[in-house]
Structure 1
């Protein structure tokens, strides 16, 4: 139903916490494609979709603005409570009532190993680390994945239907999707990972799961190679419709939406907001993010658009397409994905940059469509001058080679007796090599536990006691299928995955199990 343009002040929560939202056009949050071909979808439609039918990615048609008063009122909320507040901005109560949303988020985040779900480590010389890795698979993906899977299950149970999730992973997403969805009666999960390009712990989090609704494939290629047959499968409208095929990569809007919360949490805890005068300008916080597929940094850009004064820094490894894009406007893939000590960000196709481009171009879907289709066709593009200028103003970047990762891990240990995972070290390199501006607080995002990357820790000359839950993975049986590389590998992988999806669907239709 249409409403007057303007400011809507909505009462939220029993303790009179309010949020000021600015909407243009609609009272109910609706979603559109970054390529302009789809508008007016609701959260449930988007949750079950992955890519939009026109090949784009879903974004809110209007982004809520957070007022300074709202931010001050949110200061001190628990992480779980903050996730609910953020999610409620984008999920209308008509779809998930507020009480149900609270229950779903509480259940999703109840299994984390620290009571506060995320934790802040305040180290020497202003090195402040936001630890996001205390979930089942020891990676930040667990935060958004557990919530997203709960939302999925909520709708599947209400509608008495099933869905099939298809996930390509560079290491962490697959394990998180599996652990979040294992055993759920209405959801099958098909995961493809790059064999030999992830760590043993990442692999075991996937192949040791023997639940009947989990189907794992090890592909002889990179994560970008895996994305090619997956895009073809999602483009098969009949397959998507008949099997309710969907994605749980950060293509899925819900994943990005939940990730907004940890940027807001970092700002509320670390910016110095509590010390600022009520009528003064909000203090700025610099947030440094290790970046691969760019879902996390896209979330940071959305939060910045919502009104938080963030200074965003995207740090990459030798797969430096995001750095080259920001620094020179060269949005082009290298010939090959480089294997590094930080494998979860070994990505040359940072697909969530499409969301960033769309925001910066004023939601110009036609321009985004032209640029992204050219990039997918030729694997290279040069940003228009106006877009490059806006991007370089919105985002800073840096690139770190493996020797820099090891140097950072050693230095952090020597200074703090604190072990960084190699991805977190990609971010923390910035602390040791970029001067700290006076009066500007910084936060470094730690995306994974060092327990997942024992070889890198050892290569840095450090020791780390592996937790029992990691050691126990070696004692578990495994199940997976290989996707071999040949002259027609892309079509072969597509056919194998389609056959799996169809066979699983047939088994569920007959009410039986898939594995004997």
Structure 2
């Protein structure tokens, strides 16, 4: 399998080179040259596989013989041995139409662990095999940072620097990152928003000379390995329901700000998974919902919400979707992204919007609706949602039709966002791993939001 850039100016490259490149050297995003097509017979054969066995089959399609199968199996097994549930991403029935896929059973209680435990082990494997230096640079709206740090802390040959928006993540998210004192970890708290952090990351990776000089590697979902790892649990959720006798197509409701998690579902659908509708749930930072409903991609006014991991205005994976929306025409994508850079918006014609709406539905969830949903599901079903999952559930309640089956992706354990939970007078017990964080010292540096200031910190650290 080879990987190409959405902007068409990078020669096709292998999987390992693709994950090391992260952001394509032409400023685009890497995608597989062809998307594997799965037959109904293959889907039936996969239906009884364990999560680890399924991950191995899907990764093999995208990696080929670059990593021997025995080595890949060990990477997969090691990555998911850290999860607290034997099914890795179990699906729980909440009511007649709604199931919740719990993606928070990894080390940091967030869905990012599913991809970043694997990517961390993959980077370590490549570093040892090639005797190469790996310096990871990432930005987080809260969960990516902790999951990435957990995936590589203490590993030889790897150093990691994570940027997060100062005082704009939950306290538990902050503690999970900043109580780590390993010598290969640097936390930078940036005075600004997540969009500022993400812009800095993309601009530093676009500085190809700096990127190569300091061996920068990506941990954010601009890295194609992140998307591939997240694709697995869409298949696994569908198979869990099929094993319970559900034979119809399934909706997936996905809380998203960066378009990575829901793009993984789009990729699964293009591979042949019988998905009925992808429901895109945003909070009041609703650039993606407005795009699906109106055909205009334009940042609005930033709003702090109870679901801070989705407080994002510019979605870094959106370009990958545009690439497929426009028939994999890299020339059009390069033009559109230049237009967005100069004009600040992209507007698509009506016929193209119809294609978007044939795949996606979207709903923007207001702050109070998010809290109402948490209260309602706790009282009715004795099920506690974190505020991001609550956005996904609220969108599902709004958009799914009678008789449909919908899986809402539960992206984090509610203990990570107690600030929102306690607003509705709900008391919860922290898992012991999270409770222990409050007694630990923190290690972080507060910095300004200029590229040069971040570069200066990186040069000193790397």
TM-score (ref. length: structure 1): 0.87
Q: Which position in structure 2 is the counterpart of 1:341? A: 306
3-state DSSP of counterpart to 2:21:
coil
- Please identify, of 401-410 and 376-385, the stretch whose mean Cα deviation from structure 2 is larger: 376-385
Q: After superposition, what is the alpha-carbon deviation per residue over 1:36-77, rounded to whole angstroms, capped at 9, x for unaligned?
A: 112311001111112101111000010001110011111121
Give how far 1:500 is off. Answer: 2.5
Q: After superposition, what is the alpha-carbon deviation per residue over 1:442-475, rounded to whole angstroms, capped at 9, x for unaligned?
A: 1110000001001111112211111111110011
Q: Which position in structure 2 is the counterpart of 1:91? A: 63
Q: Does residue 1:38 correspond to 2:16, yes or no?
A: no
Q: Which position in structure 2 is the counterpart of 1:15? A: none
Q: For residues 316-335 of structure 1, what are the structure 2 equivalents within 5 Å?
A: 316-334=282-300
Distance 2:411 2:246 in 1: 29
Check conservation: 1:318, 1:340, Cα contact below 8 A: yes
Distance 1:198 1:337 in 2: 15
Q: Does residue 1:242 correspond to 2:213, yes or no?
A: yes
Give how far 1:432 is off. Answer: 3.3
Distance 2:99 2:199 in 1: 38
Q: Which position in structure 1 is the counterpart of 2:460? A: 503
Q: Which position in structure 2 is the counterpart of 1:207? A: 178
Q: Does residue 1:162 correspond to 2:127, yes or no?
A: no
Q: Does residue 1:365 correspond to 2:330, yes or no?
A: yes
Q: After superposition, what is the alpha-carbon deviation per residue over 1:288-332, rounded to whole angstroms, capped at 9, x for unaligned?
A: 100110001111111111112212111100011111101111100
1:437 aligned to which of 376, 399, 402: 402
Q: Which position in structure 2 is the counterpart of 1:268? A: 239
Give how far 1:497 is off. Answer: 2.1
2:280 aligned to which of 298, 305, 314: 314
3-state DSSP of counterpart to 1:167:
strand
- Please identify, of 384-393 and 224-233, the stretch whose mean Cα deviation from structure 2 is larger: 384-393
Distance 2:192 2:460 in 1: 25
- Please identify, of 225-234 and 311-320, the stretch whose mean Cα deviation from structure 2 is larger: 225-234
* Unaligned residue ranges in structure 1 (runs of 5+): 1-28, 277-282, 506-516
Q: Which position in structure 2 is the counterpart of 1:21? A: none
Distance 1:389 1:183 in 2: 49
Distance 2:236 2:341 in 1: 35
- Please identify, of 370-379 and 175-184, the stretch whose mean Cα deviation from structure 2 is larger: 370-379
Distance 1:266 1:104 in 2: 22
Q: Does residue 1:289 correspond to 2:254, yes or no?
A: yes
Check conservation: 2:259, 2:318, Cα contact below 8 A: yes
Q: Does residue 1:74 correspond to 2:46, yes or no?
A: yes
Q: Which position in structure 2 is the counterpart of 1:143? A: 114
Give how far 1:275 is off. Answer: 6.3
Distance 2:292 2:124 in 1: 38
Distance 2:351 2:195 in 1: 28
* Unaligned residue ranges in structure 2 (runs of 5+): none
Number of residue-to-residue matches in the alignment: 461
Change (3 A) 1:108 1:355: same
3-state DSSP of counterpart to 2:442:
coil
Q: For residues 186-265 of structure 1, what are the structure 2 equivalents within 5 Å?
A: 186-265=157-236
Check conservation: 1:271, 1:284, Cα contact below 8 A: no
Check conservation: 2:365, 2:395, Cα contact below 8 A: no
Give how far 1:364 is off. Answer: 0.4
Give how far 1:498 is off. Answer: 1.5
Q: Does residue 1:102 correspond to 2:82, yes or no?
A: no
Distance 2:69 2:457 in 1: 37
Q: Which position in structure 2 is the counterpart of 1:26? A: none
Q: For residues 368-383 of structure 1, what are the structure 2 equivalents within 5 Å?
A: 368-383=333-348
3-state DSSP of counterpart to 1:424:
helix
Change (3 A) 1:222 1:112: same
3-state DSSP of counterpart to 1:41:
coil
Distance 1:317 1:297 in 2: 15
Q: Which position in structure 2 is the counterpart of 1:47? A: 19
Q: Which position in structure 2 is the counterpart of 1:19? A: none
Distance 2:292 2:412 in 1: 25
Check conservation: 2:98, 2:405, Cα contact below 8 A: no
Distance 2:350 2:316 in 1: 20
Distance 1:267 1:105 in 2: 20
